[in-house]
Amino acid sequence: MTVAFGEESGTAKSSRGPSTWATHAALLLVQVAFASQAVEAKLAMLPRAQGGEEIRPETVAMVRMIGGALFFQAAALFSRAGASRGNTEPDGTAAAAEPSRPRRHARLVLLAALGVALNQALFLAGLRASTPFVVSILGATIPVMTAALAVLFRKEKASWRTGVGLLLALSGVLWLIGVGSVVSHGAVADYGALLVALNSLSYSAYVVFSRDVVIELGSLRFMAWIFTYGALLFAPLGLPPLVTDWTSISGRGWALLAYIVVVPTILAYGLNAWALARTTASVVTIYIYLQPLIAALLARIQLGDGISSRAGLAALLILSGVAVTTLRPRATPRGASASDDTREPANDG
């Protein structure tokens, strides 16, 4: 899920010429990459009797974290070497020094727990018990939850748009989970949808608290440390099944895992950073609406999934909440000027 927050950058390039269609093409590919993650991960985890590879969620998460950590650490190393020659990071920000203070590392560990370890564990466990379309719809609540948490922790001013958007999105989430049915008929709630909703809340908290660290370190180096600490935190849970399943994973299974590491993680991050340097936050936000549609299409083609009436109504409520909250100039963060660019890295969950 791509998420862009904050004021529109005054450095965004003009919308004329080839750069316009190239930027939009990049943003479209980012949404395809993130939407396909849910479908390919679902295919990797499905039982072999249902056409899947029967790979455990912990194994999928561990492989993705290790792959992301290795790539971003290598990229940060090359970026640091280039910084001595005056280079910048791929998103246009200046290369920063490595984190050295223990207090800063402690914050990175906490952010890694929220944005990578817990985020991935909840996402994949929820996906295993749900559908790619439901996962994508719930992922669309991240901008709304982030805005609400930013107000709660006094990082942004409250507004009626945030309140109405949160009410609409929360209604959609509760309807999708099936809370109403549980209360009135004693039915069982959608366990998978509940886990993915918690995943979105975890990532939203990560976005709210990560801004200062991203600005201090630079987005590339920040991602390197976040994935590294995330992999270390998740290792006690994810490493044993990875070691156990290593020899039983088929060639197709490894291909799916490689795709999950390369496309939704590395390629999507690079394209998103490139596009953010050439357009505005509001344009990126609009592309959020395409992700559930792309996920539904891919799930229909690869898994034969349909869209239930419950999921359709929930999607309408959630996306309406996203529209009310995000399709306007965002409130200026307290203590920041209106020209501050508060964009966050894309959601890798």
Cβ proximity of 238 and 65 under 8 Å: yes
Residue 126 lies in a domain: yes
pLDDT of residue 83: 60
The ranges of the chain with pLDDT < 70 are: 1-19, 82-100, 179-189, 276-277, 280-282, 285, 327-349
In a domain, 349, yes or no: no
How large is the C-alpha radius of gyration of the chain? 20
**CA neighbor of 172 nearest in space, from 128, 141, 136:** 141
The CA distance from 323 to 143, in Å, is: 10
d(CA 121, CA 118): 5
Q: Tokens in use for 274? A: 């490139």
The whole-number pLDDT of residue 281 equals: 60
In a domain, 13, yes or no: no
Report the number of distinct structural domains present in the chain. 1
What type of residue is 346?
A
Question: Is there a domain that residue 286 lies in?
Answer: yes
Residue 264 lies in a domain: yes
In a domain, 175, yes or no: yes
CA separation for the pair 3, 289 (Å, rounded): 11
Beta-carbon contacts of 333 under 8 Å, excluding residues fewer than 6 positions away, are 6, 150, 155, 156, 211, 340, 342
Indicate whether 4 belongs to any domain. Answer: no
Q: Is residue 7 part of a domain?
A: no
Residue 239 domain boundaries: 18-326
Model's pTM, two decimal places? 0.78
Instruction: Please report the pLDDT score of residue 3 as a whole number.
Output: 47
